[in-house]
Amino acid sequence: MATKKKIKDDYKNSIKKYQPKPKYFFNCIKAFLVGGFICIIGQGIQNFYMTVFDFTEKDVGNPTVATLILISSLLTGFGLYDKIGQFAGAGSAVPVTGFANSMTSAAMEYKSEGVVLGIATNMFKLAGSVIVFGAVSAYIVGIIRYFFNLTIS
């Protein structure tokens, strides 16, 4: 038993010198720039809707998010969002566009199995956990805020 652990440790130590070192700072810069660029595009879409369609600041959020989701889904379908994700890492995964990418990717992967059993069944496999934990966290934050407002009043 002790020899297996020693062999594993020896192996890990021997391959360390051949593994590339992660470039944390450079990866953070790329993620920041790409995520920021996605936000700039979103702000441009928002300004467009406010100017052309005369939306108020309160009403423009939903169409802007829907447009970003549509653009992300199209880019995923054409295979471009994966290239952006490989370059940017978390910069492309964190905004709502990353969420749309995960859903579209899952739907595309299972399209050969049909609409109901393929796309509809598997589309939320990856995104389902995000939806569940988002809803649970919103509930918990809402309860905390409710009790916090009761103590202040």
Q: Measured between alpha carbons, how far is residue 140 from residues 31, 132, 147 in Å? A: 29, 12, 11
Asked whether the predicted pLDDT for residue 12 surpasses 90, the reply is no
Spatial distance between the Cα atoms of 17 and 43, rounded to a whole number of angstroms? 45
pLDDT surpasses 60 at 153: yes
- Between CA 21 and CA 45 the distance in angstroms is 39
Residues 6+ apart with CB under 8 A from 27: 89
- Cβ burial of 38 (10 Å; 0-12, 13-18, 19+) is buried
For 89-129, the three-class secondary structure string (H helix, E strand, C coil) is CHHHHCCHHHHHHHHHHHHHHCHHHCHHHHHHHHCHHHHHH
For the chain, domain boundaries: 23-152
pLDDT at 51: 95
Residue 48: pLDDT band (50, 70, 90) is very high
Q: How far apart are CA 73 and CA 65, in angstroms?
A: 12
In the structure encoding, which two tokens stand for residue 35, read together?
Answer: 């995520």
- In the prediction, which pLDDT does 102 show? 81
pLDDT-derived band of residue 120, with 50, 70 and 90 as boundaries?
confident
CA 27 to chain centre: 16
pLDDT at 60: 95
pLDDT band at 46 (very low <50, low <70, confident <90, very high): very high
- The answer to pTM > 0.75 is no
| Backbone torsion region of residue 35, taken as left when φ is above 0, otherwise alpha when ψ lies between -120 and 50, otherwise beta | alpha
